[in-house]
Each structure stands twice: as C-alpha cells, then as structure tokens.
C-alpha cells in the first residue's frame, strides 16, 4: 500500500514533480510506482527535457526514466535524454582527466590546491562521475598563492579570460576569483579563495579546509578534496548564495548526506556557528529534506523544525519548479534572502543598512515572504532620500571617505 502523499504549501508543476522524483540515485518502491503513474499522465514532455537541462539533472532523469518507465516515455524524448547524458558523461571524463593533470602540476610547483564541486563532488556524493553535470573546474587556492596558481595555469596552456567575455559576471580584475580558459579545449578553471555575491561573502581559504582535506580517487589516481563535513557546508552556502535556483544544487546536498551516513553533525554545527553561516546550512538541509527526502538524523530535523522562518523559505525553492513561480524566491531577490537568513539580528540589520545605501529594490519594496519587511521598507524610506541628498551636496572626495568608513564598520 502506498504511503500518504504530502500536500505541499506551494505545489510543484506536474512536469517538475516528475523531475524531482527522478533527481536522485536511490528511488524507493513507492516512488517508483509514482513515477510510472506520473509518466502516464498528459505531460508536456519537451518541458520535462527543458527543465532537466536547465536544472542540470539530465543524467539522473535519464537513468531513472530508462530504468523505470521506458515504455511510457516518448521514444524521441528518451533518445534525446540518452544523447545528452552520453555527451555529458564524455565531457565529465575529459574534465576529470584535465583535473588530475592540473593537480599534478600544482603539486609539482608546491602550490596547495583543493578541487571543489565538479568531478570530486560527482565521485564523493553520487558515486559516479557521469551522474553530476559540470562544465568547469573550481579550484580552491590560498589567497597568498594566487600569483603562483596563475603561473601554474599558464604553464598548462590556460589564459586569463577578460571580464567582458562573461556578461553579467563579476569583474575578474577586481573580483574574488579568476577565470582561466584553455584555448582549443573544453576546459575552464575558476581560481577561488572566497565565495562572493553582492552584499555577501564567505571565505573559502580557511585553515580548517586545508587541515581536514581528504584524498578523492578517480581515473585510477587521487586528487585532494574537501572533507565531507566541510563540503556540506560549502554546498549549503553556495546554494543559498544563489537562492537554490538549480535543482542540481539541492541534489548535491541530498546525495552527499545519503552517501555519508557517518557525517559528524556536532562538528558541522560547531563550524557553522563559528563561521556565521548556521542558517544557510539549515536552509540547504531543509530544501534537500523537503524536496528530495534527504535522510537527516532526528536531532538535525528538530533543529530545522525549530526555525520556522527557514522552513517557510525552503518551501519556496527552487522557484522555477513551482506551479506558480511567483510564489518562489529567485536569485534576483537574494538580497532579501540574505537579510532573512543572517544568523543574528545585528548582522541582519547591518545588511539592511547596506541594502538601503545601495538603493536596492529589496529594501524599498521587500518581498511578501521577507520577515521584517515593514521595518526594512520604513528604514529605506528614510535612508534612501537622505543618501541621495548627501550625494548631491557632498563632494566626491568626502563621499568616498564616508563610504570607506561605512564599509570598514560593516
């Protein structure tokens, strides 16, 4: 007998529901039956493919549909899924080999490096290099070793990409990471030492990451990787940074938890409290648990359920999968999301002041789901006109000095 189905506060679109059920490596008997039942409904199959492509879960969708309901899926769509999955698997193997070569080059030069996400994540969390979409190589390096890291990449045929080549991205001449491209190849490398977004930053160059790094084996060789506990924190911070826009980021958290039942949760909670990202961890865990049934210990679930605000936010993501996307939280609303998930009221209102100073729409007209939206918008109505008047009256030199002072105290 099937177990009762949960009624979501913000229901998923039918095509998105099928996608979510298939976006996992472990499928229960109950879920298998529901997948076959859903596949017999009148679905917009091109939309299913479009969603899978956008959310980066084509390999998981193909694996489960081809195994559980190949007779119910249009043959043309299953063929396109197979082709996309095969192309992705080939790209992953190519990038994995390049990653091994790069790690060898860094080691030969004596430059510390830890690959994050990408190939190592596919192996550590999914147990299969082909099951996680990735298109670049993210390398964590010490900030003090940026020059040496760039020299290693140049020696391997990489060139720095100009900021203008990536529309909408951070200016890499001044931003917190550098992008390198290997000419006549498929390889792109992001050198990172901090995870940053407007009004948000999380340092990656931490002594704990280097001290606890582990060996990750693939391609018959090993490369360094983050310890599973540290990787979980990084994944939750990264997903929260982008308002969990892509389903694959939720899958990363769920699969890492599923594949590592021995996670040291006490260590995790100590670290996120120290690093002031506790509620970003809670948000990532809540989204993964609600959407993909990530198996959390009872004590962890109790922590999440005690934070009603985080649970309410988690039910609104990913926005693009909801039947009414207007109920979701988008990356464009990230400023308001950061405001809501700060660990302390002091940090929350410091960010609120920064949002007001930057004349952010998230301060002027906060979304309806934003707790504290009324005092925030009231604060904005006072600060924004005052700030504009100061800009008009004060000289650029004085304004610059004041901005530096505000940035310093913030």
Q: For 225, list phi and psi in degrees, rounded to 5.
A: -150, 160
pLDDT single digits (tens) 391-406: 666 556 655 655 555 5
Structural domains in the chain plus CATH codes:
98-226 (3.30.460.40), 344-410 (no CATH)
Q: Is the dihedral of CA 277, 282, 288, 294 positive or negative?
A: positive
Write out the two tokens for 261. 């039942």
Instruction: Output the pTM of the full model.
Output: 0.89
Residues 6 or more apart in contact with residue 392 via CB below 8 angstroms:
none
In angstroms, the CA 327 to CA 360 distance is 21
Q: Which of 71-85, 138-152, 166-180 has the lowest mean pLDDT?
A: 166-180
Count of positions (residues) in the chain: 410
pLDDT of residue 214: 96
pLDDT of residue 391: 62
What's the distance, CA 333 to chain centroid?
15
Split at pLDDT 50, 70, 90, the class of 173 is very low
User: For the chain, how are helix, strand and coil distributed in percent, rounded to 5?
Assistant: 60, 10, 30
pLDDT single digits (tens) 61-77: 999 999 999 999 999 99
In angstroms, the CA 229 to CA 233 distance is 7
Q: Which of 3-7, 38-42, 134-138, 347-351 has the lowest mean pLDDT?
A: 3-7
Higher pLDDT, 374 or 405: 374
Q: Say whether 226 sits in a helix, a strand or coil.
A: coil
The answer to whether the beta carbons of residues 95 and 105 sit under 8 Å apart is no
In angstroms, the CA 391 to CA 402 distance is 11
What's the distance, Cα to Cα, between the start and end of the chain in Å? 57
In angstroms, the CA 1 to CA 172 distance is 56
Average pLDDT, stretch 23-49? 96
Q: Tell me if the bond preceding 318 is cis, omega within 30° of 0.
A: yes
pLDDT of residue 172: 37
């Amino acid at each position: 007998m099937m177990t009762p189905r949960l009624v979501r506060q913000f229901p998923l679109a039918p095509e998105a529901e099928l996608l979510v059920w298939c976006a996992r490596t472990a499928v229960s008997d109950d879920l298998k039956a529901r997948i076959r039942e859903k596949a017999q409904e009148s679905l917009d199959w091109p939309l299913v493919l479009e969603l899978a492509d956008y959310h980066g879960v084509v390999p998981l969708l193909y694996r489960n549909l081809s195994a559980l309901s190949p007779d119910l899926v249009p043959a043309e769509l299953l063929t396109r899924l197979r082709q996309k999955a095969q192309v992705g698997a080939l790209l992953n193997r190519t990038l994995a080999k390049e990653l091994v070569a790069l790690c060898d080059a860094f080691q030969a030069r004596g430059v510390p490096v830890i690959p994050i996400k990408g190939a190592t994540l596919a192996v550590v969390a999914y147990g299969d290099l082909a099951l996680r979409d990735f298109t670049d190589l993210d390398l964590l390096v010490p900030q003090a070793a940026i020059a040496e890291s760039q020299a290693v990449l140049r020696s391997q045929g990489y060139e720095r990409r100009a900021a203008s080549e990536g529309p909408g991205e951070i200016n890499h001449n001044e931003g917190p990471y550098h992008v390198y491209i290997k000419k006549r190849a498929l390889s792109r490398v992001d050198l990172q030492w901090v995870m940053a977004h407007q009004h948000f930053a999380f340092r990656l160059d931490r002594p704990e990451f280097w001290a606890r790094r582990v060996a990750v084996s693939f391609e018959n060789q090993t490369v360094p990787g983050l310890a599973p506990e540290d990787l979980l924190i990084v994944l939750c911070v990264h997903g929260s940074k982008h308002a969990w826009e892509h389903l694959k980021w939720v899958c990363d958290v769920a699969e890492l938890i599923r594949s590592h039942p021995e996670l040291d949760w006490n260590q995790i909670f100590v670290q996120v409290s120290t690093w002031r990202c506790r509620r970003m961890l809670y948000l990532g865990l809540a989204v993964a648990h609600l959407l993909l049934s990530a198996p959390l210990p009872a004590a962890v679930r109790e922590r999440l359920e005690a934070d009603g605000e985080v649970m309410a936010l988690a039910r609104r993501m990913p926005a693009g999968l909801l039947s009414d996307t207007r109920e979701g939280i988008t990356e464009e609303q990230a400023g308001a999301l950061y405001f809501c998930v700060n660990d302390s009221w002091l940090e929350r209102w410091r960010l609120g002041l920064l949002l007001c100073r930057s004349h952010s729409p998230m301060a002027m007209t906060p979304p309806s789901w934003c707790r504290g939206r009324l005092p925030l918008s009231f604060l904005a109505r006072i600060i924004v006109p005052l700030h504009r008047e100061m800009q008009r009256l004060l000289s650029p030199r004085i304004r610059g000095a004041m901005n530096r002072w505000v940035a310093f105290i913030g």
